[in-house]
Amino acid sequence: MKVIFGILFLLLFASVLVKRCEGPERVVRRVPASRATFSGEWPLTVESGTVERRIRDSDGARHEIVVFVTQDGAEYALNGTARGLGFLAIEPIWRDAPPPLGPKVDLGPLLKLGL
């Protein structure tokens, strides 16, 4: 019986240590971006916001997240990691490209601001 309680205690202690190793999300780069100051074609339907690169340590892994934060605080995923972690999909504010360029304006230059 003591062995079972000992094992349970060790498992509980280990899970607390793992949770403590998970750090909060932190911003490592923040760049204001707007239609007025952007070089190239502005890819969004909103006029301005901030591109942020964040690091989140969770589940024993480090996640690099790039998001576009609108003036009203909505956070849209600019990379797959952010999308996978549940940030808003960028599609609702992603501008259509004029024909014949393609369906959408290239997000690459905006994403690069955060890298």
Do the domain assignments include residue 39? yes
What pLDDT shows up at residue 2?
A: 53
| 87 domain-assigned | yes
Angle at 90 between CA 108 and CA 71, to 5 degrees: 100
**Stretches in the chain below the pLDDT threshold 70:** 1-23
Question: How many domains does the structure of the chain reveal?
Answer: 1
pLDDT score for 8: 39
| 81 inside domain | yes
- Note the pLDDT of residue 30: 97
DSSP secondary structure code for residue 35 in this structure: T
Helix (H, G, I), strand (E, B) or coil at 10: helix
Using one digit for the tens of pLDDT, what is the confidence trace for 37-52?
999 999 999 999 999 9
How confident is the model at residue 59, as a pLDDT? 79
Q: What is the pLDDT of residue 29?
A: 95
Residue 8 lies in a domain: no
pLDDT of the residue at 86: 94
Among candidate residues 9, 23, 11, the one with its CA nearest the CA of residue 59? 23
Q: Is residue 102 part of a domain?
A: yes
Q: Write out the residue range of the structural domain in which residue 84 sits.
A: 23-114
Q: Answer yes or no: is 85 within a domain.
A: yes
Within-domain flag for 18 = no
